[in-house]
Protein backbone atom coordinates (compact mmCIF):
# COMPACT_ATOMS: atom_id res chain seq x y z
CA UNK A 1 0.00 0.00 0.00
CA UNK A 2 1.27 3.44 -0.89
CA UNK A 3 0.03 7.02 -1.01
CA UNK A 4 1.53 10.15 -2.51
CA UNK A 5 -0.17 13.51 -2.13
CA UNK A 6 -0.76 15.59 -5.29
CA UNK A 7 1.96 18.16 -5.93
CA UNK A 8 -0.60 20.95 -5.63
CA UNK A 9 -1.67 19.90 -2.10
CA UNK A 10 1.21 20.33 0.35
CA UNK A 11 1.32 19.87 4.11
CA UNK A 12 -0.80 18.19 6.73
CA UNK A 13 -3.24 21.07 7.21
CA UNK A 14 -3.98 21.49 3.50
CA UNK A 15 -4.30 17.72 3.11
CA UNK A 16 -6.84 17.74 5.96
CA UNK A 17 -8.95 20.79 5.15
CA UNK A 18 -9.14 20.72 1.35
CA UNK A 19 -10.45 17.13 0.99
CA UNK A 20 -13.13 17.73 3.63
CA UNK A 21 -14.41 20.90 1.99
CA UNK A 22 -13.65 20.84 -1.73
CA UNK A 23 -12.46 17.50 -3.10
CA UNK A 24 -14.86 15.17 -4.84
CA UNK A 25 -16.25 12.43 -2.57
CA UNK A 26 -17.98 10.21 -5.14
CA UNK A 27 -17.61 9.17 -8.75
CA UNK A 28 -21.34 8.52 -9.09
CA UNK A 29 -24.41 10.45 -7.93
CA UNK A 30 -24.64 11.48 -4.30
CA UNK A 31 -25.60 8.48 -2.16
CA UNK A 32 -29.15 8.33 -0.86
CA UNK A 33 -29.88 6.84 2.53
CA UNK A 34 -32.76 5.12 4.24
CA UNK A 35 -32.88 5.73 8.00
CA UNK A 36 -33.84 3.29 10.73
CA UNK A 37 -34.21 4.23 14.39
CA UNK A 38 -33.08 1.51 16.76
CA UNK A 39 -33.94 1.34 20.44
CA UNK A 40 -30.75 1.10 22.48
CA UNK A 41 -30.40 -1.24 25.49
CA UNK A 42 -30.55 1.74 27.88
CA UNK A 43 -33.83 3.08 26.48
CA UNK A 44 -32.18 5.65 24.23
CA UNK A 45 -32.12 5.46 20.43
CA UNK A 46 -29.56 5.31 17.64
CA UNK A 47 -30.24 6.33 14.05
CA UNK A 48 -28.69 4.07 11.40
CA UNK A 49 -28.50 5.19 7.78
CA UNK A 50 -28.50 2.47 5.12
CA UNK A 51 -27.51 3.04 1.52
CA UNK A 52 -30.55 2.87 -0.74
CA UNK A 53 -30.54 0.57 -3.73
CA UNK A 54 -29.59 -3.00 -4.37
CA UNK A 55 -31.68 -5.95 -5.38
CA UNK A 56 -33.78 -7.97 -2.99
CA UNK A 57 -32.52 -11.43 -2.22
CA UNK A 58 -29.98 -13.15 0.01
CA UNK A 59 -27.88 -10.92 2.31
CA UNK A 60 -25.07 -9.13 0.53
CA UNK A 61 -21.71 -8.16 1.99
CA UNK A 62 -22.14 -5.31 4.45
CA UNK A 63 -19.71 -2.47 5.07
CA UNK A 64 -20.33 -0.60 8.33
CA UNK A 65 -18.78 2.80 8.98
CA UNK A 66 -18.39 4.37 12.43
CA UNK A 67 -17.91 8.09 11.92
CA UNK A 68 -15.58 10.52 13.63
CA UNK A 69 -16.10 13.33 16.14
CA UNK A 70 -19.23 15.28 15.14
CA UNK A 71 -19.41 13.31 11.90
CA UNK A 72 -22.38 11.66 10.19
CA UNK A 73 -23.43 9.72 7.11
CA UNK A 74 -22.96 12.99 5.16
CA UNK A 75 -19.27 13.40 6.06
CA UNK A 76 -16.99 13.42 3.04
CA UNK A 77 -15.38 10.11 3.97
CA UNK A 78 -18.78 8.45 4.56
CA UNK A 79 -19.93 9.49 1.09
CA UNK A 80 -16.74 8.06 -0.38
CA UNK A 81 -17.21 4.70 1.32
CA UNK A 82 -20.89 4.67 0.35
CA UNK A 83 -19.87 5.17 -3.28
CA UNK A 84 -17.40 2.29 -3.10
CA UNK A 85 -20.01 0.00 -1.52
CA UNK A 86 -22.55 0.87 -4.20
CA UNK A 87 -20.01 0.24 -6.95
CA UNK A 88 -19.14 -3.17 -5.51
CA UNK A 89 -22.75 -4.23 -4.92
CA UNK A 90 -22.45 -4.18 -1.13
CA UNK A 91 -24.82 -2.95 1.52
CA UNK A 92 -23.58 0.01 3.54
CA UNK A 93 -24.58 1.31 6.97
CA UNK A 94 -23.60 4.30 9.11
CA UNK A 95 -24.74 4.02 12.75
CA UNK A 96 -24.74 7.51 14.25
CA UNK A 97 -23.25 8.02 17.66
CA UNK A 98 -25.69 9.52 20.13
CA UNK A 99 -26.69 13.05 19.15
CA UNK A 100 -24.99 13.02 15.73
CA UNK A 101 -27.98 12.21 13.52
CA UNK A 102 -29.56 15.66 13.73
CA UNK A 103 -31.74 15.02 16.78
CA UNK A 104 -30.77 15.10 20.44
CA UNK A 105 -30.79 11.69 22.09
CA UNK A 106 -32.91 10.85 25.15
CA UNK A 107 -30.44 9.61 27.75
CA UNK A 108 -28.14 11.68 30.02
CA UNK A 109 -25.13 10.72 27.91
CA UNK A 110 -23.60 11.43 24.51
CA UNK A 111 -20.72 9.47 22.92
CA UNK A 112 -17.00 9.11 23.45
CA UNK A 113 -13.81 7.75 21.89
CA UNK A 114 -13.78 4.50 23.83
CA UNK A 115 -17.46 3.62 23.43
CA UNK A 116 -16.85 -0.07 22.71
CA UNK A 117 -20.11 -1.16 24.35
CA UNK A 118 -21.99 0.89 21.75
CA UNK A 119 -19.96 -0.70 18.95
CA UNK A 120 -20.68 -4.15 20.38
CA UNK A 121 -24.48 -4.06 20.42
CA UNK A 122 -24.66 -2.31 17.06
CA UNK A 123 -22.50 -4.96 15.40
CA UNK A 124 -24.44 -7.80 17.01
CA UNK A 125 -27.68 -6.39 15.63
CA UNK A 126 -26.15 -5.83 12.20
CA UNK A 127 -24.86 -9.40 12.14
CA UNK A 128 -28.41 -10.66 12.69
CA UNK A 129 -29.44 -8.93 9.47
CA UNK A 130 -26.65 -10.68 7.60
CA UNK A 131 -27.73 -14.21 8.39
CA UNK A 132 -29.39 -16.34 5.75
CA UNK A 133 -32.11 -18.89 6.67
CA UNK A 134 -29.49 -21.66 6.75
CA UNK A 135 -27.52 -19.81 9.45
CA UNK A 136 -24.65 -18.65 7.27
CA UNK A 137 -23.90 -14.95 7.03
CA UNK A 138 -22.60 -12.68 4.34
CA UNK A 139 -19.29 -10.92 4.99
CA UNK A 140 -19.36 -7.95 7.35
CA UNK A 141 -16.53 -5.44 7.47
CA UNK A 142 -16.32 -2.48 9.86
CA UNK A 143 -14.44 0.76 9.30
CA UNK A 144 -13.94 3.43 11.95
CA UNK A 145 -12.79 6.96 11.17
CA UNK A 146 -10.89 9.07 13.72
CA UNK A 147 -12.89 8.80 16.99
CA UNK A 148 -14.88 5.93 15.49
CA UNK A 149 -11.65 4.15 14.59
CA UNK A 150 -10.35 4.30 18.15
CA UNK A 151 -13.68 3.02 19.48
CA UNK A 152 -13.71 0.20 16.91
CA UNK A 153 -10.19 -0.98 17.73
CA UNK A 154 -10.98 -0.64 21.42
CA UNK A 155 -13.91 -3.00 20.82
CA UNK A 156 -11.74 -5.43 18.86
CA UNK A 157 -9.20 -5.48 21.68
CA UNK A 158 -11.82 -5.93 24.38
CA UNK A 159 -13.57 -8.76 22.53
CA UNK A 160 -10.46 -10.58 21.38
CA UNK A 161 -11.25 -13.82 19.53
CA UNK A 162 -15.00 -13.32 20.10
CA UNK A 163 -14.96 -10.38 17.68
CA UNK A 164 -14.75 -12.83 14.78
CA UNK A 165 -18.40 -13.74 15.36
CA UNK A 166 -19.36 -10.21 14.29
CA UNK A 167 -16.79 -9.08 11.71
CA UNK A 168 -14.50 -10.52 9.08
CA UNK A 169 -12.06 -7.62 9.36
CA UNK A 170 -11.85 -4.04 10.65
CA UNK A 171 -10.02 -0.89 9.62
CA UNK A 172 -9.31 2.28 11.62
CA UNK A 173 -8.51 5.42 9.63
CA UNK A 174 -6.62 8.28 11.29
CA UNK A 175 -7.66 7.10 14.74
CA UNK A 176 -6.10 8.91 17.73
CA UNK A 177 -5.04 5.65 19.37
CA UNK A 178 -3.27 7.60 22.11
CA UNK A 179 -6.01 10.05 23.10
CA UNK A 180 -3.81 12.11 25.41
CA UNK A 181 -1.28 12.75 22.64
CA UNK A 182 -4.03 13.64 20.20
CA UNK A 183 -5.83 15.85 22.69
CA UNK A 184 -2.66 17.77 23.47
CA UNK A 185 -1.88 18.22 19.77
CA UNK A 186 -5.29 19.60 18.86
CA UNK A 187 -5.17 21.98 21.81
CA UNK A 188 -2.10 23.90 20.60
CA UNK A 189 -1.40 26.71 18.13
CA UNK A 190 -3.09 26.58 14.74
CA UNK A 191 -4.93 23.39 15.71
CA UNK A 192 -6.52 25.12 18.68
CA UNK A 193 -7.54 28.17 16.67
CA UNK A 194 -9.05 26.22 13.77
CA UNK A 195 -9.96 22.61 14.57
CA UNK A 196 -10.76 23.00 18.27
CA UNK A 197 -13.03 25.96 17.57
CA UNK A 198 -14.74 24.03 14.78
CA UNK A 199 -15.54 21.09 17.05
CA UNK A 200 -16.64 23.20 20.03
CA UNK A 201 -18.95 25.22 17.77
CA UNK A 202 -21.28 22.19 17.57
CA UNK A 203 -20.34 20.28 20.72
CA UNK A 204 -21.10 23.07 23.19
CA UNK A 205 -24.67 23.71 21.95
CA UNK A 206 -25.36 19.97 22.05
CA UNK A 207 -24.10 19.81 25.62
CA UNK A 208 -26.28 22.78 26.62
CA UNK A 209 -29.29 21.06 25.04
CA UNK A 210 -28.48 18.01 27.14
CA UNK A 211 -28.33 20.22 30.24
CA UNK A 212 -31.79 21.58 29.38
CA UNK A 213 -33.01 17.97 29.27
CA UNK A 214 -31.35 17.14 32.58
CA UNK A 215 -30.93 20.24 34.76
CA UNK A 216 -27.93 19.96 37.07
CA UNK A 217 -26.20 17.36 34.91
CA UNK A 218 -22.99 19.43 34.84
CA UNK A 219 -21.67 22.91 35.59
CA UNK A 220 -22.87 25.24 32.83
CA UNK A 221 -20.38 28.00 33.65
CA UNK A 222 -17.47 25.56 33.59
CA UNK A 223 -18.56 24.25 30.20
CA UNK A 224 -18.82 27.74 28.72
CA UNK A 225 -15.34 28.49 30.07
CA UNK A 226 -13.82 25.50 28.22
CA UNK A 227 -11.46 26.61 25.45
CA UNK A 228 -10.17 23.25 24.30
CA UNK A 229 -11.25 19.61 24.13
CA UNK A 230 -9.55 18.83 27.43
CA UNK A 231 -11.70 21.42 29.17
CA UNK A 232 -14.85 20.19 27.43
CA UNK A 233 -14.12 16.54 28.21
CA UNK A 234 -13.34 17.43 31.83
CA UNK A 235 -16.77 18.99 32.34
CA UNK A 236 -18.96 16.97 30.00
CA UNK A 237 -17.64 13.86 28.24
CA UNK A 238 -15.71 12.26 31.10
CA UNK A 239 -18.21 12.51 33.99
CA UNK A 240 -21.24 11.63 31.82
CA UNK A 241 -19.60 8.37 30.74
CA UNK A 242 -18.12 7.12 33.99
CA UNK A 243 -14.64 8.63 33.92
CA UNK A 244 -13.10 10.65 36.75
CA UNK A 245 -11.89 13.51 34.54
CA UNK A 246 -10.50 14.17 31.06
CA UNK A 247 -7.11 12.64 31.86
CA UNK A 248 -8.74 9.46 33.17
CA UNK A 249 -10.97 9.32 30.10
CA UNK A 250 -8.13 9.80 27.63
CA UNK A 251 -6.04 7.13 29.37
CA UNK A 252 -8.72 4.47 29.76
CA UNK A 253 -10.45 4.99 26.42
CA UNK A 254 -7.32 4.81 24.24
CA UNK A 255 -7.13 1.75 22.00
CA UNK A 256 -3.34 1.65 21.69
CA UNK A 257 -2.70 -0.47 24.83
CA UNK A 258 -5.22 -3.08 23.61
CA UNK A 259 -3.80 -3.60 20.12
CA UNK A 260 -1.88 -6.74 21.16
CA UNK A 261 -5.23 -8.29 22.16
CA UNK A 262 -6.87 -7.89 18.74
CA UNK A 263 -7.67 -11.27 17.18
CA UNK A 264 -9.38 -10.29 13.92
CA UNK A 265 -7.63 -8.82 10.86
CA UNK A 266 -7.27 -5.11 11.63
CA UNK A 267 -5.79 -2.24 9.65
CA UNK A 268 -4.56 0.85 11.52
CA UNK A 269 -3.98 3.58 8.94
CA UNK A 270 -2.43 6.87 10.08
CA UNK A 271 -0.72 9.58 8.05
CA UNK A 272 2.46 10.73 9.73
CA UNK A 273 1.63 14.37 9.00
CA UNK A 274 -1.83 14.21 10.60
CA UNK A 275 -2.27 17.48 12.55
CA UNK A 276 -4.46 15.69 15.13
CA UNK A 277 -2.31 12.61 15.73
CA UNK A 278 1.42 13.13 16.39
CA UNK A 279 3.61 10.67 14.52
CA UNK A 280 5.55 9.96 17.71
CA UNK A 281 2.36 8.61 19.32
CA UNK A 282 1.63 6.06 16.61
CA UNK A 283 2.02 2.37 17.46
CA UNK A 284 5.17 0.62 16.30
CA UNK A 285 5.26 -2.96 15.02
CA UNK A 286 6.42 -4.29 18.38
CA UNK A 287 3.40 -2.73 20.10
CA UNK A 288 0.72 -4.65 18.17
CA UNK A 289 -0.18 -8.27 17.68
CA UNK A 290 0.14 -10.27 14.47
CA UNK A 291 -3.46 -9.56 13.47
CA UNK A 292 -2.86 -5.80 13.22
CA UNK A 293 -1.45 -4.25 10.05
CA UNK A 294 0.10 -0.80 10.41
CA UNK A 295 0.06 1.54 7.43
CA UNK A 296 1.67 4.89 8.18
CA UNK A 297 2.32 6.90 4.99
CA UNK A 298 4.23 10.17 5.28
CA UNK A 299 1.35 12.21 3.85
CA UNK A 300 -2.43 12.29 3.86
CA UNK A 301 -3.38 14.65 6.68
CA UNK A 302 -6.36 13.80 8.90
CA UNK A 303 -8.83 11.71 6.88
CA UNK A 304 -7.71 13.47 3.72
CA UNK A 305 -5.69 11.37 1.26
CA UNK A 306 -6.84 13.39 -1.76
CA UNK A 307 -5.74 12.22 -5.19
CA UNK A 308 -5.86 13.34 -8.80
CA UNK A 309 -5.78 16.67 -10.59
CA UNK A 310 -7.17 19.78 -8.92
CA UNK A 311 -9.65 19.87 -7.14
CA UNK A 312 -8.94 16.19 -6.42
CA UNK A 313 -11.04 13.37 -5.07
CA UNK A 314 -11.06 11.19 -1.94
CA UNK A 315 -12.25 7.93 -3.50
CA UNK A 316 -8.77 6.38 -3.50
CA UNK A 317 -8.76 5.85 0.25
CA UNK A 318 -12.04 3.90 0.53
CA UNK A 319 -11.12 1.89 -2.56
CA UNK A 320 -7.79 0.89 -1.01
CA UNK A 321 -9.34 0.04 2.36
CA UNK A 322 -12.10 -1.99 0.67
CA UNK A 323 -9.50 -3.99 -1.25
CA UNK A 324 -7.64 -4.72 1.98
CA UNK A 325 -10.81 -5.84 3.77
CA UNK A 326 -11.79 -8.19 0.94
CA UNK A 327 -8.29 -9.66 0.88
CA UNK A 328 -8.54 -10.56 4.57
CA UNK A 329 -11.79 -12.46 3.97
CA UNK A 330 -10.18 -14.28 1.06
CA UNK A 331 -7.23 -15.32 3.22
CA UNK A 332 -9.59 -16.54 5.93
Instruction: Name beta bridge partners: 37.
Output: 47
Instruction: Name beta bridge partners: 169.
Output: 141
Q: Which of 146, 166, 254, 281 is catalytic?
A: 146
Q: β-strands 33-39, 45-51: how paired?
A: antiparallel
| Burial class of residue 225 (count of CB atoms within 10 Å of its CB; 0-12, 13-18, 19+) | exposed
What is the spatial distance between Cα 267 and Cα 301, in angstroms, rounded to a whole number? 17
The yes-or-no answer on residue 274 being catalytic is yes
DSSP code at position 260: G
Q: Is-contact 139 61, C-beta < 8 A?
A: yes
Q: Which residues make Cβ contacts (< 8 Å) with residue 55, sequence separation at least 6?
A: none
Q: Which of 274, 291, 299, 313 is catalytic?
A: 274
What is the spatial distance between Cα 121 and Cα 131, in angstroms, rounded to a whole number? 16
Q: Coil, helix or strand for 35?
A: strand
The yes-or-no answer on residue 146 being catalytic is yes
Q: Which of 116, 230, 291, 302 is catalytic?
A: 302
Q: What stretches of 163-245 show up as alpha helix (H) in DSSP?
A: 179-186, 189-191, 197-213, 220-225, 229-232, 238-240
Instruction: Name beta bridge partners: 266.
Output: 170, 292
Instruction: Name beta bridge partners: 170.
Output: 142, 266
Q: What are phi and psi of 8, to 5 degrees?
A: -85, 0
Annotated active-site positions, please?
A: 146, 274, 302
Amino acid sequence: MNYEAPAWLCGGHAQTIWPALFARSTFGPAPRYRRERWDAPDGDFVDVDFLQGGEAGPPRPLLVLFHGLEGSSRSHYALGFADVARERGWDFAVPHFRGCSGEINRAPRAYHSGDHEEIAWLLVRLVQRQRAPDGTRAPLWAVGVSLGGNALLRWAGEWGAAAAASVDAVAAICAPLDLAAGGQAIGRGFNRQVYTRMFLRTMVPKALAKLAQYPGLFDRAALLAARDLHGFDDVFTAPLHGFRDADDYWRRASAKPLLPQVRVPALALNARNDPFVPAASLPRPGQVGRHVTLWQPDHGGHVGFAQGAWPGHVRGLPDTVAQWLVAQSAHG
